Structure 1
Amino acid sequence: MVRLLLLFMMPTAGMLSTAHAQHADDKVEVHHVRLTGHTGDAKFDRDYTLKVHAGCVERNRAMGWPVKTQSVADLPPVLHQLEIDFYYASNRMLQLHRHIDYYLDQKDCSIPRTETRLTYLDSSAGLCTMHHERGEASGDCDSGAHAHASPEHWQALAPSGPDSKMMTAPLPPDLPPEIRDRVEAHRQQRRESPPWPQPTGERRTMAGVSCEVYALSKPIRREQCIARPSASRFPIPSSRFNRSVPGLLLSTESTPPGLTLHTEEVHLNKLVPERLFRVPGELRVVTPKGIKP
């Protein structure tokens, strides 16, 4: 009788298969933003690479080494291209990065095309970094893909502004006058040139979505356009690129040129497969102590 009961309670292969299928079909509501752009100064990088290439050809020919000539027409206008897909969920953030680069190979003076794919899963539970070309993932890569991360903590990651404790905490009454003056001067400098982006009052529309422009003046000039659409069905977290301002990052530019990204498309309240957030099966998860079983 007991054996019969145990057999009855054991899941059949069909039941396990159904449960797995249901898990695979789980959906997560996200805002999907695709940005494209480049790193560095595109014109300078291209001109400099061609100049170094010419020197490489001259040297290798003189030394009798292999030479692959490269014409201007062989290279694209931008040598360091970047494409990022942001998936903003209520309690976690997924970023899929695709880098396409052209670097000079000094051995034969060729300028081959290379592609690198990185995925970042970021939340209050930590950061999981997936290196697809290396075939490994590292960091906080749990089996639940941060599904149970706290959204409250995640929202709180954005630093506060000028009214933070550092700026408003009362100074000790016995603080020496010269130290007090130095602290007050530092606070005044931060008020005048805060180290976090400030709203400029300008608004733009990108891919049909309205965004607010934020600017940072020092140490480099950087502008970002952040959207907080009213159609969103959940509070939008910040990303690695706009930690201090929660919202959808629709563009970023810096002067001198460093990183330039502009929105290609935006999809609000979109359902995506839950497995998108998980470490792909072909990647091994590496911990400081080695590889997870």
Structure 2
Amino acid sequence: MAREIGVPLVKRPKGEAFLDLLARPKYGYGSAMNPCIDCRIHMFAMGKAFMEEIGASFLITGEVLGQRPMSQKKRSIEAIDADSGMEGRVLRPLSAKLLPETLPERDGTVERRRLFGWAGRSRKPQLSLARRLGLSIVPSPAGGCLLTDDHFRERIGDFVAVDWSGGPGKGEGRTPAASMLRYGRHFRFEEGEWVIVGRDQTDNRNLEAHIRKAGVAFRPEGFDGPLVCILTQQEKISPRMGELATGALHAFGGGKVPAGPLTVTVLCGSGERQLTLPPLPPDRSHLMEKDAWIPRWRR
């Protein structure tokens, strides 16, 4: 859509601060682990910083009063603008006539009479306006946030509650690790290890894109099997890591994993190297069975 209306599209990651926000949102959560109001404050604060970079004087959003249950109530909108330091500088053209005048309206930059006074959950007025403006691409409503998904919220809830000092929380590792929560099967062991096993090639590719800053991955060589990731900041492969990787490859390899030592490529940081994983000792052989891999959360 940005291309169609001729404006540059700039993407910025929400970053480490958003993970801290998830753990302790000032305005609480919605139906699951979605801190909608705090999330919006964070986004507007980022928008304010970008405004200052490019010399802009106000923000424009497509929000409609009352269309979303948490962040688009009038009281929520007022709190969002105030807490982000953007009072009077967020123009909501679709509902402007139902809201206080903004600075660009007061100084004549924008004519208030040309704005709208829409409210409620219906998107029909927006779709009608898009047709009148000749837009061929109309984005779907901003819904489907993963934080409202019951299964995903269990992963992210545990992730932000864990003390990652000495783990992916060191340096830049926590954000890539959080990105990996969307992919694969996740397992937490009593010893504290967090293991992620790819379900398919798409999972494997996405996990591999993030793991180098978040931990260690074991990629099978010479046989078909999943990518096995362990969230850690240790570059040295411990015997326990090797056992978990061997067990996961057998448990989720679909019967295609050969007996005996396994050749894998270890991905860690900017490097990779081949490693031979020995067969599991008898007292660890249970890791080769799926029954040993009970997810802490529902799949």
TM norm structure 1: 0.22
Higher strand share: 1
Higher helix share: 2
**Structure with the greater relative contact order (CA < 8 A, sep ≥ 6): 1 or 2?**
1
